[in-house]
Amino acid sequence: MGVQSLVVACGAVALCLALTTATNPGFVVRITQAGLDYANQQGIAILQKELAQLKLPDISDKSGKVRYQLSRLRLRDFHLPYSRITPISNVGLQVSISNAFAELDGDWRVKLRFVRAHGSFNLKVENVYIKISLRLGRDAAGKPTVSTSECSAHISKVRVRFSGRLGWLYNLFHRAIESRLRKTLESKICGIVDKSVRNELQKFVQTLPVTARIDAKTGIDYSLVAAPRATAQFLDAGLKGEFYSLAHRSTVPFSPLPLALPSDHDRMVYFGASSYFFNTAGIAYHEAGALVFEITEDMIPKDVGFSLDTSLFSAFIPQLEEMYPNMPVKFRLSTPTAPFLTIGPGGISLNPIVEAQAYAILPNSSLAPLFLLSLTGNVSAVINVRSGRIVGSLDVGRIRLSLKDSAVGTFEVRTIQSLMNILTSKILLPRLNARLDEGFPLPLLDRIQLSNILVRFYQNFLLLGADVHFQPRG
């Protein structure tokens, strides 16, 4: 951004702050050399096809006294057997293609004084070197961009073979033709490269879902916070990595901490998901009102041997049953604040506070509040990746109860400890885990599948590693 546009943007103070505050990503995608090698294979296969479609114009020229004309120039094939993509620190990516070769057919026609001749020819092009520099950026929507910043093509060997009569004529002009075709090809190759980068590669990287709608209530913002950055070993893309409520997106009251990925490189791609990423999920679901859960009689499994009504409490809270004899009871569980988790080398842990309000359901269906409990407990999470999505499941340690409010007099909360254990472990948790098992989408480009998953925990972030498979259209 130029100084001028910065000044303009700073006219609005809020924008100026947004521009000057360094933004740590909440989510980092890292592509290793193994990933670049795989991308290279896929990309080169496409470029090879594009180059084979290369169209050459007819050529007519003079070499000494010989007038010649080349027409119907057709590339038979173009082979790119050796190529490599390397990240260049703070520049981008460099693609080096060496020892490429191609073959070309065409018709020739010459005129030397009164002699006219014509025939066909075949041109073998060898030792083709192509060097391409790719610049990576991000557009206004936070999607990645890629463009060719440099391209050079050099052909060091061409051999032409003519068929037709008057062989002696060939010697008069084959050098001219070879050099002419070499130059023409060299100049066309970079045009094709540029076109492929614009039409294929750029379109492909733009398939990054920068806003991933997850369900009816929330989405994830995966927009790039800065242009992808190349180091000597990796290509890193810092994404916002923030969940938000679709109905009302509010500013997250904390920022992501810097995310220092380890220098692992045996997988093609690594994802660093910060605690910020997960904690904004908590905020988004809390704000969307999705962290409210009701437990009613019909949800009680048959095997637990009780039904959820006021008689259940007769032994511990006798006055409850006296006030509301034989009435169904329901619990309404909610989180007074968004749950907050921490990630450390030992895994993910959270200590959410859940409030459980018990109601008696009166014969006319209105609800009579009975008591309000506060539930706390250590929750641990297991994380995995399936079908390009982060999936998880939670486990709860011992639940601690405290009585916050009661309309039925005080009582010892430990008397209903086992009831609350059953409600959380048999009803709440399985339903929550069923949702977590559906997972949340990772920021993947179109037609990319992951395999060979690795999951590891570090201070403040979760590291996911994977190999990539590109599913061709088809």
Ligand X SMILES: *[C@@H]1O[C@H](CO)[C@@H](O)[C@H](O)[C@H]1NC(C)=O
Binding site for ligand X (CB under 6 A): 349, 362, 364, 366, 378, 397-398
Q: How is residue 310 written in tokens?
A: 């006021």
| Nearest-angstrom CA–CA distance, 188 and 64 | 26
Could you tell me the smallest distance in angstroms from the CB atom of residue 460 to ligand X?
15
For residues 171 and 366, which CB has a smaller minimum distance to ligand X in the complex? 366
Asked whether the beta carbons of 299 and 427 are under 8 A apart, the reply is yes
For residues 193 and 399, which CB has a smaller minimum distance to ligand X in the complex? 399
* Strand positions, DSSP E, 15-81: 27-31, 59-63, 66-79
For residues 190 and 341, which CB has a smaller minimum distance to ligand X in the complex? 341
Q: How is residue 234 written in tokens?
A: 């990796």
Q: How many CA atoms lie within 13 A of 443 on its CB side?
A: 34
Strand partners, 93: 87, 134
Element (H, E) at 100: strand 92-112
| Nearest-angstrom CA–CA distance, 276 and 281 | 9
| Nearest-angstrom CA–CA distance, 328 and 409 | 19
For residues 70 and 379, which CB has a smaller minimum distance to ligand X in the complex? 379
Could you tell me the smallest distance in angstroms from the CB atom of residue 377 to ligand X?
7
Could you tell me the smallest distance in angstroms from the CB atom of residue 308 to ligand X?
20
For residues 284 and 354, which CB has a smaller minimum distance to ligand X in the complex? 354
Query: Per residue in 47-65, is it b (16+ CB within 10 Å) or e — as a string?
Result: bbeebeebebeebeeebee
Could you tell me the smallest distance in angstroms from the CB atom of residue 376 to ligand X?
9
Q: In the chain, what are the helix, strand and coil shares in percent, each to the nearest 5?
A: 25, 45, 30
* Strand positions, DSSP E, 211-268: 211-213, 218-221, 229-230, 235-239, 242-245
For residues 260 and 362, which CB has a smaller minimum distance to ligand X in the complex? 362
Could you tell me the smallest distance in angstroms from the CB atom of residue 400 to ligand X?
8
Alpha-carbon dihedral angle through residues 420, 426, 429, 432, given to the nearest 10 degrees: -130
| Nearest-angstrom CA–CA distance, 366 and 324 | 12
For residues 304 and 362, which CB has a smaller minimum distance to ligand X in the complex? 362
| Distance of alpha carbon 38 from the chain centroid | 16
Could you tell me the smallest distance in angstroms from the CB atom of residue 219 to ligand X?
31
Strand partners, 122: 105, 161
Among residues 375, 346, 208, 217, which one has the least CA distance to residue 281?
217
Q: How is residue 226 written in tokens?
A: 């800065």
For residues 262 and 397, which CB has a smaller minimum distance to ligand X in the complex? 397
Could you tell me the smallest distance in angstroms from the CB atom of residue 424 to ligand X?
14
For residues 167 and 325, which CB has a smaller minimum distance to ligand X in the complex? 325
Could you tell me the smallest distance in angstroms from the CB atom of residue 414 to ligand X?
15
Could you tell me the smallest distance in angstroms from the CB atom of residue 430 to ligand X?
21
